[in-house]
Amino acid sequence: MNSDLQLVENVLQGLMTPNNEERKKAELQLAELMQKNTIGLVLYLSQIINQNADNSILTYSSVVMRKLIQVKENETVNVHWKNANNEMKEEIKKNVLNALLNCNDKSLKKKYGDIASNLCENIYNNGEKWDNILKYVANGFMIDLKPENFLNIESSVFLLSKIFNYAQNELLTGIDQLIIGFHKFFKEGNLDIQTNSVEAICEILTGYIDKKVSKKFREFTFYILQTILNCLNNNDFNNLKKSLFALSDLAQTQPIMLKKNFSDICTLMGKIIERKDLDEDSIRSVAFEVLLSIIEKYSKVISEDNQKLTLLINSIFKYGMEFDEEIDDDWLTPKSLSLSDEDFIPEGKLDEALSLIDRLIISVKEKTALPIISNIIMELLNHSNESWKYKYIHILQLEKYQHMLMI
């Protein structure tokens, strides 16, 4: 074995030792290797991920490798990749592809996909090609949808979502095969494959605005919403979060793609918002963001439907009231006569809810939203005996909109 490669392996082993002294020594050695020959270290790491090493070694190797080839904010191509010779580049590409092809561990395969994605960013931004990785992606759309192929299919779809923006011209030559594959995945695939399909389709629609192409993918909106609903019903919070974030990105960048489906989206987001048992509050926040992103661009989807608008405003207020009943010292000893003059930050969800209400008023206009808000504020006051929170929110809103509200 190459002595330099052996040195890198020894350093990786040292980084994971419980012995502090040995670990610090390994950290210094790694820093020296990175400074001395970064792209050479990348090459050695690409060789290590092809070995039958311990998973912890493979994981650490992939994390370090990805960090070394990442494109910084002020770059279009990683400086180390740009300065590497073609022979070394080809070797790294071959090793990463082999690692993807031979890996049967889900977590590691995703990490290798992340490495391939970073490489693609460097390769295509530098005017180079990587045809074999595109064949790897295409193959995932053509192989039989059997359980033994699920991991490879998932990997291909995941990689498509990550590299489309860099290699879209090449990938779009096989657009019809991609569409056939997506139909198959949504009808017969598992939730992991379907979620990755949601991410890939949203990425394509977000990054590519050719009308002919977008029209072909618009038909998948139903499947995107169905996948999100299935994740919700199956309490698959990880896939729910991924698919919902993808939908949110699409709603922010291309809301026109979702305009016609707003009614269904509103119903689905409402189901998510109602689920207080979700493991992360950010999931419900994103559901609100999906709705507001569409409304801010196309307000008529809700401004002309008083029932939908009322339900949305009610749900925002209910969400904002989800904070502790306990009153802290800052509240017991106010420094001014007005809540709006107090030097404190409202509870997280309440602050978010008030911001959502502001955005909604701007979008649908005051004369449409304020009568509904006025009624809700009065209803809050009627329930003020049940909890101080009702009165508190009532006063906050009254102070903010007293010049407009008819109460």
Within the chain, which residue ranges are assigned CATH 1.25.10.10? 137-298
Across 361-401, the runs of DSSP E, i.e. the strands, are none
The DSSP code sequence of 347-366 is: PHHHHHHHHHHHHHHHHH-H
The CATH class of the 137-298 domain is mainly alpha
The answer to whether the CB of 228 falls within 8 A of the CB of 244 is yes
**Cα–Cα distance list, 225 to 198, 218, 230, 340 (Å):** 9, 12, 9, 40
The answer to whether the CB of 180 falls within 8 A of the CB of 138 is no
- What's the predicted TM-score (pTM) here? 0.84
pLDDT in tens, 250-300: 999 999 999 999 999 999 999 999 998 886 768 999 999 999 999 999 999
Q: Of 127-141, 338-352, 356-370, 380-394, which range is least confident?
A: 380-394
pLDDT in tens, 38-49: 999 999 999 999
Q: What is the C-alpha to C-alpha distance for residues 238 and 231, in angstroms, rounded to an integer?
A: 8
Those residues whose C-beta lies under 8 Å from the C-beta of residue 27, and which sit 6 or more positions away, are 15
Q: Which phi and psi (to 5°) does residue 353 adopt?
A: -65, -45
Please give the radius of gyration of the chain, using alpha carbons only, rounded to the nearest integer.
26
Q: What is the C-alpha to C-alpha distance for residues 49 and 60, in angstroms, rounded to an integer?
A: 10
Q: Looking at the predicted structure, is the pLDDT value of residue 338 above 60?
A: no
* Residue with the two structure tokens 């401004």: 303
The answer to whether the CB of 350 falls within 8 A of the CB of 321 is yes
The answer to whether the CB of 407 falls within 8 A of the CB of 398 is yes
pLDDT in tens, 99-153: 999 999 999 999 999 999 999 999 999 999 999 999 999 999 999 999 999 999 9
Q: What is the C-alpha to C-alpha distance for residues 215 and 143, in angstroms, rounded to an integer?
A: 26
Q: Of 6-10, 198-202, 227-231, 238-242, which range is least confident?
A: 6-10
